[in-house]
Amino acid sequence: MFEGKAAIVTGASRGIGRAISVDLVRHGASVALVGRDRGALEETASACSAAREDAKCLILTGDAADAAAVDGFVRETLESFGRIDFAIANAGQSIDALLLRLKAEAIEQMLSVNLKSAFYLCGAVARPMMKQRSGSIVLLSSIVGVMGNAGQAAYAAAKAGLLGLTKSLAKELGSRNIRVNAVAPGLIETAMTEKMPDEAREYLLKQAALGRAGKPEDVSGVVTFLCSEAAGYITGQTLVVDGGVLM
């Protein structure tokens, strides 16, 4: 489906980012894997190779919240693959604290990792995609960015910002046949959600109509769909993948 296409995925070290990378490779795309942990990225590359023997992966180690680094990642991807068809802004982190205990450094960290990193990636890939007159950008938000959550004000604000960014860029880039969409996962079994307090976890599980947490693959399939021609007339949208929490 994606033969001859190329993608760049931030936060590709593990969890949802790894699942997205593997699924894109499985469908024929070459993928640039971006993250700070080279060992974990090599594990993602191995998973990609297991999914497809002729997998083409480029490991790019660095900080997705550093604008200059992101420009370099995109430049290296173009040099290696000749094009970028899909850009997945998946880099994310959660620091939970009630507002009165939320330190300024934590607020800056949440905005940088969860929101600014997406701005930088979108800005870096927009020009090559405009030249191609095609592309699909997918931003990984969260249901917390839609509904809010006590103790996660900074994280929720950053994830909500991604939804505004999605709609604005969809309007800016649509005339060049570039689609921009967001995915808002609910409780997904990842290293990040393992650190959630038991009470918060149980609350989300009780709210989910399906009565279970999701897997990274539940999200990666939706991202692959948004990159595909089957979603060719979808832009500026947020697809919620939460097992039926928000209805």
Q: What is the pLDDT of residue 201?
A: 76
158-180: average pLDDT: 98
Minimum mean pLDDT range among 70-84, 88-102, 113-127:
88-102
Let me know: does 110 contact 155? Beta carbons within 8 Å: yes
In this predicted structure, what is the pLDDT of residue 123? 98
Compute and round to an integer the Cα radius of gyration of the chain.
17
Q: Residue 197: what pLDDT?
A: 67
Q: Which CATH superfamily is domain 6-241 in?
A: NAD(P)-binding Rossmann-like Domain (3.40.50.720)
Q: Could you write out the DSSP letters of every residue in 156-176?
A: HHHHHHHHHHHHHHHHHHGGG
Q: Map out the domains of the chain as residue ranges.
A: 6-241
Q: What is the pLDDT of residue 232?
A: 98
Query: Higher model confidence: residue 247 or residue 77?
Result: 77
Pick from 118-127, 153-162, 200-209: least confident: 200-209
Cα–Cα separations (whole angstroms), residue 53 to 11, 57, 77, 153, 193: 23, 11, 20, 43, 31
Residues in contact with 76: Cβ distance below 8 Å, sequence separation at least 6, in sequence order: 32, 58, 60
CA–CA gap between residue 23 and residue 217 (Å, rounded): 8
Contacts of 11 (CB under 8 A, 6+ apart): 17, 34, 35, 64, 90, 91, 92, 140
**Active site amino acids:** 155
Q: Could you report the per-residue pLDDT of 178-202, keeping only the tens digit for each?
A: 999 999 999 999 877 776 667 777 8
Q: Say if residue 163's pLDDT is above 70.
A: yes
The stretch 26-38 carries a mean pLDDT of 98
Q: What pLDDT is stored for residue 202 in this prediction?
A: 81
Structure tokens at 159: 């994830």
pTM here?
0.95
pLDDT for the residue 48: 98
- Do 52 and 78 touch, CB atoms closer than 8 A? no
Question: What is the pLDDT, as a whole number, of residue 220?
Answer: 98
Residue range 228-243, pLDDT digits in tens: 999 999 999 999 999 9
42-76 per-position pLDDT tens digit: 999 999 999 999 999 999 999 999 999 999 999 99
Mean per-residue pLDDT, 124-141: 98
* pLDDT, mean over the chain: 95
Q: Tell which residue, 169, 175, 183, 174, has the closest CA to residue 138.
A: 183
pLDDT at res. 37: 97
Residue 109 belongs to what H/E stretch?
A: helix 104-111
